[in-house]
A and B are shown apart, each in its own frame.
Chain A
């Protein structure tokens, strides 16, 4: 088993399925460590998750449409207006603009964890440029190569039609007057840490992978530079943040973007996925209000509950957080990638003191959550097979309607005891098997940490 595990890692390196890690000025090609023991999810469990993700994406898209139009949810006081309007990711340029099918978040990644009781909970929404889906597909391919014997006749739901579904959505949202829309994937370039994923998705969709310098805007239409001059572009899956997308409209120093693309977008001459300004919906502070959003727009209870979260901008929540600092996880609202997190029960006295200082200095920048004892899965380690903590990031694609990729990226904290699964901090990944209906109906047992 260890030999097969080594074979797998060697192959990932050779295939160049890597991400770049920047440290000490050097950029190093690293593979995302791959654990060969798959994580299994039963059909029944999956049906529940799929419905929950669908519901969440629908609510968030309704929310975005609302805040960029009538702002009813703010007027009704369900979500505090300043949290939305004062948010750095709220884009005034989007106010009053209609987007096809009212879809803003075309590609969504939802981070799920499973608590001590076995309940899946949403830990975080990713509605800007969520990454990781390439590993879902590549991990499956890897399992098929390394364990062809094991996978026969199990009935695992396939994941390799993701590119196809994504292309369908990109075509759906293209300007309606274009008969055969040209779709492209816009990447910050080969030095981006997720470049492999950009390559992967462009290939799976069969569309050009372009950089900002390949595109120009003329008369509010977007073109790419080809060997035969300029060619029209209709639909762009962009993997560049809002701030870098258009130096004319946002960050003027951006070298990655396309000057004038916002105006082309506003005129409806080009589609962008995700839409501009979705960052306000996946904010860690807004997250706390998503269950209320679901109730408000859909009149339903959240199918997948949130982790119980306190918003430190509220006085009693701040007090509670300060009183229970050693039991809580404190997160800054703006950061991604697991940076800046303090895990109370595991923090030293000094770390707690530092966290307290930061909280008091800028309470609005923090939320707190109880420590979720992430479920564990058997994982190959130096000392044999041992339990390690995992989370799960399923992906949903939305054009006219929403489709959820069966499975998702299972990230695993390879270091013993740690709860942080981010690839930038020593996490790895596993293949995630969603079983066909009729296989293992009773659900799959996952351990809880002891």
Chain B
């Protein structure tokens, strides 16, 4: 059966917003826990940096206090990267997709969104923040589970998975980038108590702490953590793992549905995967991790654009679609 280009785009973005929401909830949660451990040393601002929201944030707040940052990322409806905004976008896409997705998928997102909107500042005061974040995370995971169990496996499923893995890869690079950037002013700091606890935070944010321990029981260095998050072949949030998925999904989708477009996107994914596998982490760090991560993010964004051109009809029908509702 044919899949409307507009639907494919909505599915892709619904998956991205849900994945993004889960990641943000993880980051807020871990940050809060971490903040309690090192009283006075909390840097809520790093969350703002991680999302590259500095300019927007300071246009509305003077200082990155815990309260301001949490509100900005939970409930600020004018902030497109807040959980409320993400859920609204996910729900809007799901609403358009109701003829396509399962009723259970729609109902869960709808209820999730409505509950989140009904929450107030008190519900997410710092002592409750962790509980709320856990709830959000669980709702996102419920979404994942319902999707896995009920989403009919046709083209739409591929676009869903593509959106999810592109977003996940992007999130991992951002998480790593900001922590690496701020945590490693000089290699001499490596091994300090603070350093270890900060890197633990990074791993916990990506639900990778225990797996990391299992792989590296003896030590924790910025290099091993960065390597684990970039290149590990078993860690579900590692960039390599995600890009491998994207590669396989595009190839299978194109051949199964004999889609004409998508060759450029596939080439770009192959290039990215090749580059990721070409160099060990030590070499990447020597060359500049920040620049490397930037480049990966650009590639992911290019791949998104190519998918858009190939399947969402963004070039050919752009003129006809300028209408807005």
Contact = CB atoms under 8 A, between A and B. Distances in A.
A15 B104 CA distance: 8
Interface in B274-325: 311-313, 317, 320-321, 323, 325
Contact of B2 (A14, A202, A211, A228): A228
Interface in B175-193: none
Interface in A422-436: none
B99 A208 contact: yes
B99 A199 contact: yes
B155 interface: yes
A203 B8 CA distance: 17
Interface stretch (B29-37, B106-114, B141-149): B106-114
B99 A203 contact: yes
Contact of B3 (A15, A182, A209, A226): A226
Given A16-B107, A227-B5, A209 B99 contact: yes
Contacts of B323: 213, 255
A266 to B, nearest CB: 22
Interface residues of A, number: 28
- State the main secondary structure of chain A at its contact with B: mixed
A133 B83 CA distance: 36
B150 to A, nearest CB: 14
B325 A189 contact: yes
B52 interface: no
Contact of A15 (B103, B259, B317, B320): B103
Contacts of B2: 182, 208, 224, 226-228, 231
Interface string A192-224: 000100110011000011110110100000001
B268 interface: no
Contact of B4 (A14, A198, A225): A225
Nearest to A201: B99
B308 to A, nearest CB: 11
Interface in A1-35: 13-16
Given A202-B99, A203-B99, A209-B99, A14 B110 contact: yes
B6 A214 contact: yes
B194 interface: no
Given A14-B110, A208-B99, A226-B2, 16 more contacts: A14-B107, A14-B111, A15-B106, A16-B98, A16-B106, A16-B107, A195-B95, A203-B99, A213-B6, A214-B5, A225-B313, A226-B5, A227-B155, A227-B259, A228-B2, A228-B261
Contacts of B3: 226-228
Contacts of A199: 98-99
A209 B3 CA distance: 11
Nearest to B6: A214
Given A227-B3, A231-B2, A216 B311 contact: no
B4 A224 contact: yes
B260 interface: yes
